Amino acid sequence: MSHDFHARRRQAVLSRIGDAVALIPTAPERVRNRDSHYPYRFDSYFWYLSGFPEPDAVIVLVGGDTPRSILFCREKNEEREIWDGFRYGPEMAAEAFAFSEAHPISSLDAKLPELLANRRALWHSLGHDAEWDRRIAAALAALRADSRSGVRAPREIHDLRGLLDSMRLIKDAHEIALMRRAAEIASAGHARAMHACRPGMAEYELEAELSYEFRRRGADGHAYAPIVAGGVNACILHYVENDKLLPAHSLVLIDAGCEVGGYASDITRSFPVDGRFTAIQREVYGIVLAAQEAAIAAVRPGASFIDYHQAALRVLTQGLVDLRLISGSVDGAIESGAYRPWYMHRTGHWLGLDVHDAGDYRADADPDAWTTLAPGMTLTVEPGLYFRPDSAVPEHLHGVGVRIEDDLLVSDDGCTVYTTAPRTIDEIEEVMRHD
């Protein structure tokens, strides 16, 4: 695979930092217990600029008149490759991933003062990793100790994440293709779980259906810990135990997405355990679906990020009035926050290399100035209503939790919904038929 697009991203960073140096380390391997590690996941910022899959690696971008794009990585090691698998090594990595040069990671600390010497500024994710803060402080101290020889340490340190966040907010064609594939696979996983569902199954059995379909179709795995929440568990927003039995005549809420090439999908579906919505389930589901459709219609270039939340909120609040949980006007209920016991989250978030992806939601320090949507932005739309058993809630609503979430790309003239898992009541009941 060509990595020219990664090289172009690095060049974009170099053009913005001027006569400065930027450091971007990848994530370390993490020990699970004893000598067993968690499955490795690279740092998203590092991956965005390199596509290099190995741990123990660092990108150093050196600006100025002759910019340099440098990778520090592990050396080739025949013995370790027998045990752990292939390593690129610096020479092969530089060519494969379009770096101007590459060096062994073991040489980084010795080379760092030289790379930083006489540079105006250092760009780094300061405060993100204490060990990296220590290493950089040591390099700066070494330069300052040598100041009598005319060597100068960088006088400024900037947070690189802000610069990269603004870049990551707009997806390019390569990213969009990966996210479409992740959405396609996740949609198939949700449809499979719906068709497999039966009363009395365990939540983890549906999780297994998702995992099978994700891996069968080539996804890297889950993009985040999946939520499979039957009955009243659907009213716990981040329920991840997934170990209870699915009660008959209840709803099950599944919030699960997969990762492809590092990019996430994020889908939520709510459906009846036994394949047919009851009257009250149908009513609540219809309110949430109408709220989602109103929100999707509000996603377009030039709109504010908050606009689609407000569109969904109006529909949800009207639904709560219709259910007689709120009295008075919709405007009054929104202003007072009377809806919040049953809808307590925003209607979406950015999506990309991270499921809650990088990028500012507010345009500046003004609390009323939200980011303006532009083509290439990707986001989720996920309204919901949650009725935990409570004396303020009629008994027929107890334990009814509904959230519907889809992934969208802001396009030139509106938006495109990536995700295709069954969404309407008719579509869900059709895929759940077992005859």
pLDDT tens-digit profile, the chain (435 residues): 678 999 999 999 999 999 999 999 999 999 999 889 999 999 999 999 999 999 999 999 999 999 999 999 999 999 999 999 999 999 999 999 999 999 999 999 999 999 999 999 999 998 888 889 899 888 888 888 877 777 888 989 999 999 999 999 999 999 999 999 999 999 999 999 999 999 999 999 999 999 999 999 999 999 999 999 999 999 999 999 999 999 999 999 999 999 999 999 999 999 999 999 999 999 999 999 999 999 999 999 999 999 999 999 999 999 999 999 999 999 999 999 999 999 999 999 999 999 999 999 998 767 678 999 999 999 999 999 999 999 989 999 999 999 999 999 999 999 999 999 999 999 999 999 976
Candidate list 8, 356, 362, 396, residue with the active-site label: 356
Set 175, 184, 213, 266: catalytic member: 266
Active site residue 204: no
Q: Which of 238, 324, 433, 434 is catalytic?
A: 238
Q: How far is CA 359 from CA 167, 171, 379, in A?
A: 8, 11, 11
Burial label for 2, CB within 10 Å (0-12, 13-18, 19+), is exposed
Sign of the C-alpha dihedral, residues 412, 415, 416, 419? positive
Active-site choice (174, 198, 276, 345): 345
**Bridge partners, residue 389, by sequence:** none
Could you give the C-alpha distances from 361 to 278, 304, 311, in angstroms and in order? 38, 9, 17
Annotated active-site residue 403? The verdict is: yes
Distance between CA atoms of 409 and 415, rounded to whole angstroms?
5
Which one of the listed residues 32, 34, 35, 368 is annotated catalytic? 35
| H helix or E strand, kind and range, residue 215 | helix 203-216
Taking the model in full, what pTM does it have? 0.95
Q: Determine whether 382 is an active site residue.
A: yes
| Annotated catalytic residue, options 349, 357, 406, 418 | 349
Q: Is 360 a catalytic residue?
A: no
Catalytic residue selected from 274, 405, 406, 407:
405
Q: What's the first-to-final CA gap in the chain, in angstroms?
A: 45
Query: Is-catalytic flag, 238?
Result: yes
User: Is 345 labeled as catalytic in the residue annotation?
Assistant: yes
Residue 95 bears catalytic tag: no
> Of 43, 54, 203, 255, which one is the catalytic site residue?
255
Please identify which of the residues 6, 386, 406, 423 carries the catalytic annotation. 386
Are 158 and 23 in contact by the 8 Å Cβ rule? The answer is: no
- Extract the tokens encoding 302: 């030039």
